[in-house]
A and B are shown apart, each in its own frame.
Chain A
């Protein structure tokens, strides 16, 4: 019996000649085994694309289920909207200024302590 390596080294003509040689005995169960192997490979190739497709679908469903509806704009007038944005940034800046003031106060306390020490 030839090994797999020997078979892969054979030319197409040699393979055809061997296949047509009726003197070579063929096991009776060979046909069934070949069919079963092909069926297994077919089911594997189906799974190869079906699983990623299912994953992609699941992710899309997950995203779709969690998509929040867009709220309604509070302002119809862009000037009012702009005024609100200004107000928000003024508030944020006020908070930053307050924080900076606290840092400054702390630094002064630390300096005073260092001086008396």
Chain B
């Protein structure tokens, strides 16, 4: 009987561990009306990493050091109120279930922006940003094995510009 409990517990754990992540949220919302969605796959990141000295915009963000460490990018931008609320609720659920740590939160006139990371002191395995504006919800999820110091330096450098 004890072994049966362990079996059930393992099954539930395996289900909850995969219950929701950036990909599942993307799959759930990306095909809905009034949703802008962008996905960049691990294969595309590998391809980008093979092109030397890639720089396409004004160069204000130097992605060189971390581009090869990224393995997935999911973006959802939703304008429709009810769906936007559903997405925000789903994101909060998956943040609360996972090992995500709040990196930063800013609130202004009812608009909220939160950033979360999951990983350890040295590596970020997933970065999530959820921004709720008056008429829009934006969700960004970046997966990879990103050196934490490089990610922080990249964001800080770009923020200075």
Contacts and interface: CB of A to CB of B under 8 A. Distances in A.
Q: Do A and B bind each other?
A: yes
A91 interface: yes
Given A65-B15, A86-B61, A95 B48 contact: no
A29 interface: no
Contacts of A68: 18, 21, 23-24, 27
A107 interface: no
B70 to A, nearest CB: 7
A72 to B, nearest CB: 7
Given A54-B7, A66-B15, A93-B61, A84 B38 contact: yes
B125 interface: no
Interface residues of A, number: 43
B30 A89 contact: no
Interface residues of B, number: 55
Interface of B: 3-4, 6-7, 10-11, 14-15, 18-19, 21, 23-24, 26-27, 30, 37-41, 43-45, 47-48, 51, 54, 56-57, 60-61, 63, 67, 70, 73-75, 104, 106, 108, 113, 115, 129, 131, 140, 142, 154-161
